[in-house]
Structure 1
């Protein structure tokens, strides 16, 4: 608790701020008055100052060289920025290998168009699921055999990239049951 008669501390601070602001404004007005009083209004003196400014526009060799050096530095910085931006390798986003394999497997399945339970059961009896199972098994065998070879050929890739390369080769391979003639 503040002492008796000390007053509100916030109110005291506010009064102090107002007083300081008032003093600052008064000081600025005094400075303006003094500047006006000592201002030189002589037209001949003003003209003389303007002539001196106009004749001082010559550029020395040192100033020219300094400007050239600054321009070269700016050009070099711009070139560095351009080369930094162009060094980034943009790779194409490749599809997920698992999705590709699933889609390929789905493409190998035979399409069934039937309505009614009896027609569906009859048409399912004719479908051979063995082909898709053979493809999956053949791919796993192909992958086990050729993964070390692909890893030697292409170094520093991710496993999914190795599998993608293997799948592309498998689609063309003679080991693929879909490429074998019945």
Structure 2
């Protein structure tokens, strides 16, 4: 039978420790090599920038803490003042006008001004209408005043044709012989109308053509240019 070899436990343990130490050294060397690589890659400027960023971050954090502390102190002070302040009854009775009420008041003032201007315009228009009507009534009154000295001698007629017919039956003062009295009367009336119409339009603007013609006919009935009035003379 072959001879059984004995195992040296201490030697095995020593070899294991040696292997572990060598492996640790290799790992450490690899880490150092990697760190050196990244340091060289970053360069001096990158390290300085990193340092500045860290300092700025620390300052920002400190400023935030300081601001928060100040806010809490102010809040606490406000609560103390509110608790110590006595209620003002007079202030409660007086209402402070808001911006919306100011806007509403401005709108109301604007509407009142618009209404006032509208009433003024309406009053002016009504005054003009009344004046025009008064002028027309006065004109009618003047035109329709009876001439007592000539009333009996005037031949009444409502149109030129009616006047021609009445001229033929005047008994006391017959017209001179005229072969075409209607032509002469119409021509005279036409000339009278053309002369008076512009005057009436200037004196009484705004009337209708029918109203102007009615006025002209009333003037024609009293006019000395009317042949019917000449018959009675």
TM bucket (normalised to shorter chain) is 0.3 to 0.5
Larger radius of gyration: 2
TM-score, normalised with respect to structure 1 = 0.33
TM-score by length of 2: 0.26
